[in-house]
């Protein structure tokens, strides 16, 4: 019988439901279970593609080109579960499909309602994945917070699934906040109310993960257990860690989370194999040296805006046996009179990530120039490649107004231009060059040495590319074109020739990097930065 675990959150958002769900997934995988990870989001957008990073954090891209919530990135880093557009469910998708069916007469004249039509569509999408032959356990993370009006249809669908499948085949895991108030006193009342709201909906949580600053003591756990009707052994401490998030599966395992889930669901599992996670945690904890990496971006204020890149840099540090200090630099600082020498003091490597729009572009160009001239290791990703080419065009080729069609649509010397297939695009959602594709790598280049083979398979998310009209000029002046699309029509990677390590790529290598196997470019970038 297929098993389903539903992970919900209470009190407030951003407590770490995604990390909790992913950690549980990794623990079950370590016991030999074949898992499926699903995220349901209550917003009305069809996907996360058109959302501002300030609103929703980064957009994570799957192999098949789906633009999804960043929690799928956590699933990808913590587990080997396959991820596609089907693993990201939004209210926009659900209503769009139900309305389509109604227009086609599929409901035979019935009045279309939230219950049963919306909830049935939610359940059918979860069952479609969870009932596959190669899946043992499906973990469904419900976005938002219990009590949100947007989440009600999803929680009702969860209640129905628990009723349909039975308690032996379903499990409710609720993550909630246990805050400290002035004086350090720990308060359990928010958690009590959160569980009460869940029970009013008709869902009794089986496991409670208490998000707190320090590990809960036994008296607090007993109190929470009494007031929430949850077994004492199933009240667990989700306390802060001082190393990396990759220690969290180990912490949950030490508290018996996997044993509780296995027992409650009656799973037949093997012995836990957590060697890789223990090695990752110990490697970072035991590192003696720290490398300073400056990330020059335009969405610096929100920590999650570059989540996958942050984690990939940490993966690179783990692979090299060092710790990393990521210094977030708003590119506009470099435009407002602050000297690069001051901004990059003590920095070992500079990374320019992706982004959209004119704001902060000049500051990124200054950062690329400083890295090139001062021989500081540089990694450019997506926009970061275009910045590298614009900087080279202006300061090496002497094209004073070298720019991009994104920032100067009518520019006469744009070294970056709109992709041909994007010229007539009028809708923004899901229309970029998206998903996994192959890049050919030039022999003897730094990128080819990093991947150790003549090709790289990575995911894309962009509309603009290097203008082929300037390719020969750039190469003649020493810019190395180190990667192409298989047909040779588009530039995928560039490098500085007379430089310790200056590499930029049009794709997003951060999406395939894992703590147990760092992305090749992040591994080599950090290695060069250490030197």
Contact 116, 68 (CB under 8 A): no
Task: Taking residues 404-421, report their average pLDDT.
Answer: 87
Residue 34 has pLDDT above 90, yes or no: yes
Report the pLDDT averaged over residues 48-57: 80
What does the mean pLDDT of the chain come to?
92
Q: What was the pLDDT predicted at 93?
A: 96
pLDDT at position 351 over 60: yes
Which residues participate in catalysis according to the annotation? Answer: 382, 508, 510
Confidence of residue 56 (pLDDT cuts 50, 70, 90): confident
Model pLDDT, residue 423:
59
Closest CA to 179 of 171, 190, 168: 190
The answer to whether residue 229 scores a pLDDT higher than 90 is yes
- Please answer whether residues 474 and 389 qualify as being in contact, where contact means their C-beta atoms are separated by less than 8 angstroms: yes
pLDDT score of 430: 64
What pLDDT, on the 0 to 100 scale, is given for residue 271? Answer: 85
Which position has the higher pLDDT, 56 or 209?
Answer: 209
pLDDT tens digits for 485-516? 999 999 999 999 999 999 999 999 999 999 99
As a whole number of angstroms, the distance between CA 67 and CA 486 comes to 24
pLDDT tops 80 at residue 55: no
Alpha helices in 414-488 (DSSP H): 446-451, 471-476
Q: What local confidence, expressed as pLDDT, does residue 37 receive?
A: 97
Write down all domains in the chain, each with its CATH number in brackets: 3-279 (3.40.50.300), 288-530 (3.40.50.880)
Decide if 7 contacts 141 (C-beta within 8 A): yes
Q: Give residue 358's pLDDT.
A: 83
Please say if the pLDDT value at position 328 is more than 70.
yes
pLDDT of residue 255: 94
Lowest-pLDDT choice from 19-23, 297-301, 378-382, 412-416: 297-301
Instruction: State residue 205's pLDDT score.
Output: 96
pLDDT at 518 over 90: yes
The answer to whether residue 426 scores a pLDDT higher than 60 is: no
The mean per-residue pLDDT over the stretch 44-61 comes to 85
415 pLDDT band, cuts 50/70/90, is very high
Closest to 433 (Cα-Cα) out of 358, 492, 520: 492
DSSP string, 245-307: GGGHHHHHHHTTHHHHHHHHHT--------HHHHHHHHHHHH---EEEEEEEES-TTSGGGGH
pLDDT of residue 421: 63
Binned at pLDDT 50, 70 and 90, residue 282 comes out as confident
For residue 428, is pLDDT > 70?
no
**Comparing 211 with 420, which gets the higher pLDDT?**
211
- What's the pTM? 0.93
- Going by pLDDT thresholds of 50, 70 and 90, the confidence category of residue 450 is very high
Provide the pLDDT for residue 50. 84
Percent share of the chain, pLDDT over 90: 78
Tens of pLDDT, residue by residue over 357-372, are: 888 899 999 999 999 9
Q: What is the pLDDT of residues 126-149, one digit of tens each?
A: 999 999 999 999 999 999 999 899
> Per-residue pLDDT averaged across 13-22, rounded?
90
Total length of the chain: 531
**C-beta separation of 456 from 483 below 8 A:** yes
pLDDT of residue 284: 85
Q: What is the mean pLDDT of residues 520-531?
A: 96
Q: Mean pLDDT: which of 107-111, 182-186, 283-287, 525-529 is highest?
A: 525-529
Q: Percent of the chain, pLDDT > 70?
A: 98
């Amino acid at each position: 019988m297929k098993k389903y675990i539903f992970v919900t959150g209470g009190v407030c958002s951003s407590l770490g439901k995604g990390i909790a769900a992913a950690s549980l997934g990794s623990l079950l995988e370590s016991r030999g279970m074949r898992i499926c990870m699903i995220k349901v989001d209550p917003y009305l957008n069809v996907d996360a593609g058109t959302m501002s990073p300030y609103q929703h954090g980064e957009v994570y891209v799957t192999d098949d080109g789906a633009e999804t919530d960043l929690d799928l990135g956590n699933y990808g880093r913590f587990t080997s579960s396959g991820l596609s557009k089907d693993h990201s469910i939004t209210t926009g998708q659900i209503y769009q499909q139900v309305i389509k069916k109604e227009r086609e007469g599929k409901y035979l004249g019935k009045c279309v309602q939230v219950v049963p039509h919306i909830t049935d569509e939610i359940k059918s999408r979860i069952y479609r994945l969870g009932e596959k032959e190669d899946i043992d356990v499906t973990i469904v993370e419900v976005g938002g917070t219990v009590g949100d009006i947007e989440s009600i249809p999803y929680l009702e669908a969860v209640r129905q699934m628990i009723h349909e499948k039975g308690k032996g085949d379903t499990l409710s895991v609720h993550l909630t906040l246990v805050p400290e108030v002035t004086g350090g006193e720990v308060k359990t009342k928010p958690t009590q109310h959160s569980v009460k709201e869940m029970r009013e909906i008709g869902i009794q949580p089986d496991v409670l993960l208490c998000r707190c600053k320090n590990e809960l003591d036994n008296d607090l756990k007993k109190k929470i257990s009494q007031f929430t009707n949850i077994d004492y052994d199933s009240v667990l401490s989700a306390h802060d860690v001082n190393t990396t998030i990759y220690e969290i599966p180990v912490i949950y395992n030490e508290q018996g989370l996997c044993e509780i889930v296995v027992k409650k669901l009656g799973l037949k599992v093997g012995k836990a194999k957590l060697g890789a996670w223990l090695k990752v945690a110990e490697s970072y904890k035991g590192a003696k040296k720290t490398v300073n990496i400056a990330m020059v971006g335009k969405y610096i204020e929100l920590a999650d805006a570059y989540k996958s890149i942050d984690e990939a840099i940490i993966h690179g540090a783990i692979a090299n046996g060092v710790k990393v200090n990521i210094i977030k630099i708003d590119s506009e600082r470099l435009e407002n009179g602050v000297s690069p020498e001051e901004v990059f003091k003590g920095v070992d490597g500079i990374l320019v990530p992706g982004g959209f729009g004119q704001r902060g572009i000049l500051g990124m160009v200054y950062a690329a120039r400083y890295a090139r001239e001062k021989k500081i290791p540089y990694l450019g990703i997506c926009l970061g490649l275009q910045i590298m080419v614009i900087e080279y065009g202006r300061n090496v080729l002497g094209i004073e107004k070298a720019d991009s069609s994104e920032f100067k649509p009518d520019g006469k010397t744009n070294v970056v231009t709109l992709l041909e297939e994007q010229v007539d695009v009028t809708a923004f959602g899901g229309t970029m060059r998206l998903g996994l594709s192959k890049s050919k790598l030039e022999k003897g280049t730094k990128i080819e040495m990093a991947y150790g083979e003549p090709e790289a398979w990575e995911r894309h998310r962009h509309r603009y590319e290097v203008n082929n009209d300037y390719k020969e000029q750039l190469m003649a002046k020493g810019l190395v074109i180190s990667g192409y699309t298989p047909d040779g029509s588009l530039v995928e990677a560039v490098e500085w020739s007379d430089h310790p390590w200056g590499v930029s790529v049009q794709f997003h290598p951060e999406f395939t990097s894992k703590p147990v196997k760092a992305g090749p470019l992040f591994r080599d970038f950090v290695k060069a930065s250490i030197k």
